[in-house]
Structures are given as structure tokens and as C-alpha cells.
């Protein structure tokens, strides 16, 4: 088993600005995601819609290029989604994607991070995060923030990388060297369960595949 290694500040600052270089980096990440991850996004979208919150308001933390919120809005036509991300360049790419797919009336993007969510209590029917959790520097605090903004019967859905030695080889082939540090920063199922036990969320279901961990949780009331 690989020892967990947190991301450095330098590794997560690449697209924080909104200059030409940052936009180019964000568009490169988006292009790679379209090429490599659309089956994964389609799977997640189906699972999220199956939660029965497709008529509500959702928050996507660490939304990045916004492909998942846009896909959700296309498939769940009564859902409104807010994408939250600290990177200005990613938010700009997300807005372009929403406009291009003609879902800009139901998908919006806002700058922010999970550790201090800029929303009122009990705002969202659904909070989700995909391939972002391993970046969070205060996971317990962020999970409690999620509990705060969830409605009483709201659902938290997470899909994130799973840290395991055998998973490194296919990920190297899939992403070259880009996501190796992300795998090292990711958690095991046991570690996530331990973090969840310290929060105001209750785990409803947690499972793993070769590379991913999937979590569904509700609010402790």
C-alpha cells in the first residue's frame, strides 16, 4: 500500500488565474477529460439521477471545466446546478461549455472552495464532488460544510480516486504522469470511513472499483 502524500500548493495553483496561459491549461485538461473520462462522467450522471434529486438544486464542488454539471443539466432537465471551483480559468471554461450546450439558464459557476461554502444552511438537495476530494486540505471541515448546506433529506455523492499500488500502472498509461500525484494524495475506503465518522454526515453506501471510490451519504439529523 502506498503511503498517502498530500498535494503541494504549487501543484494546485496552475489555473488559479484567468490569463491566456491559465485558460490554455484549463482547455487542455478539458480536452483530455473529453477524450478519456466521458464514460466515467456518464456513469456518474446515471447514478446521480437515480438518487431521485433530479428536480432539485445541486452543488458540484471542485467542478473544474464543468463537464459534469453540463451533462447533468442535459440529462435532468429540471435540475439546477452550481459549479464551485477556486480556479478562475476552469470557471471560464465551464461557462463556455454551459453556453455551448444551451444549459446556461440552469448551470452557473461560482468561485469558492469546500472549506467555506458561500451558501446558506439547507440550500441544496444534492452536493457532489468528483475527482476533487483528495485535493481538500481540511476534509473533515469541508464535509461538515457540506452537511450544513444540505437540506434535511439531501444527499452527498462523491467519486474519487482510490489509492492502491496496483492502480498506478493503468493510471500511468491512461494519464501519463499527470495524475500520479493525485493517486498518491487519494484515500483508501477505510480512511474515508474514518473521516466520515468525524462529521455530521452518515454514510449510506461506499464501494470501490479498481481505480475509484464511490460514496453516498446523508445528513445527520
Angstrom distance (rounded) from CA 108 to CA 95: 7
pLDDT at position 162: 84
DSSP 8: P
**Dihedral of the CA atoms 26, 28, 32, 33 (nearest 10)?**
20
Would you say residue 76 lies in a domain?
yes
On whether residue 88 sits in a domain, the answer given is yes
pLDDT of residue 10: 41
- 71-91 pLDDT, tens digit per residue, is 999 999 999 999 999 989 889
Range of the domain at 100: 21-219
Count of structural domains, the chain: 1
Q: Is the pLDDT of residue 7 over 50?
A: no
Q: How high does pLDDT run on average in the chain?
A: 85
- At 31 the pLDDT is 76
Is 123 part of a structural domain of the chain? yes
CA dist 172 and 195 (Å) reads 28
* 38: CATH: 3.40.50.150
6 within domain boundaries: no
Half-sphere exposure of 76 (CA within 13 A, CB side): 26
- Arithmetic mean of pLDDT, 192-217: 94
Q: Are 201 and 220 in contact (CB under 8 A)?
A: yes
Q: Flag whether 194 is in a domain.
A: yes
In a domain, 2, yes or no: no
Query: Is 81 part of any domain?
Result: yes
End-to-end Cα, the chain, rounded Å: 36
Q: Do residues 68 and 130 make contact, with C-beta atoms less than 8 angstroms apart?
A: yes
171: in domain: yes
149 and 126 in contact (C-beta within 8 Å)?
Answer: no
Dihedral-angle region of residue 102 (phi above 0 means left; psi in -120 to 50 means alpha; beta otherwise): left
**From the CA atom positions of the chain, what is the Rg in Å?**
16
Percentage of the chain lying above the pLDDT 70 cut = 81
Amino acid at each position: 500500500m502506498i503511503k498517502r502524500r498530500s498535494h503541494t500548493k504549487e501543484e494546485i495553483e496552475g489555473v488559479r488565474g484567468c490569463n491566456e496561459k491559465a485558460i490554455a491549461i484549463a482547455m487542455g485538461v478539458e480536452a483530455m477529460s473529453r477524450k478519456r473520462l466521458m464514460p466515467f462522467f456518464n456513469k456518474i450522471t446515471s447514478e446521480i439521477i437515480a438518487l431521485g434529486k433530479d428536480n432539485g438544486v445541486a452543488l458540484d464542488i471542485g467542478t473544474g471545466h464543468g463537464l459534469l454539471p453540463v451533462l447533468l443539466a442535459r440529462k435532468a432537465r429540471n435540475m439546477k446546478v452550481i459549479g464551485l471551483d477556486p480556479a478562475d480559468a476552469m470557471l471560464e471554461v465551464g461557462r463556455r461549455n454551459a453556453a455551448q450546450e444551451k444549459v446556461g439558464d440552469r448551470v452557473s459557476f461560482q468561485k469558492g472552495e469546500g472549506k467555506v461554502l458561500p451558501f446558506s444552511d439547507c440550500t441544496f438537495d444534492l452536493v457532489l464532488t468528483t475527482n476533487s476530494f483528495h485535493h481538500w486540505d481540511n476534509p473533515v471541515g469541508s464535509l461538515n460544510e457540506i452537511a450544513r448546506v444540505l437540506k434535511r433529506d439531501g444527499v452527498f455523492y462523491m467519486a474519487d480516486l482510490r489509492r492502491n499500488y496496483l492502480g498506478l500502472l493503468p493510471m500511468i498509461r491512461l494519464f501519463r504522469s499527470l495524475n500520479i500525484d493525485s493517486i498518491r494524495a487519494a484515500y483508501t475506503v477505510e480512511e474515508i470511513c474514518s473521516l466520515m465518522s468525524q462529521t455530521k454526515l452518515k454514510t449510506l453506501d461506499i464501494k470501490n472499483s479498481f481505480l475509484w471510490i464511490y460514496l453516498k451519504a446523508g445528513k445527520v439529523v
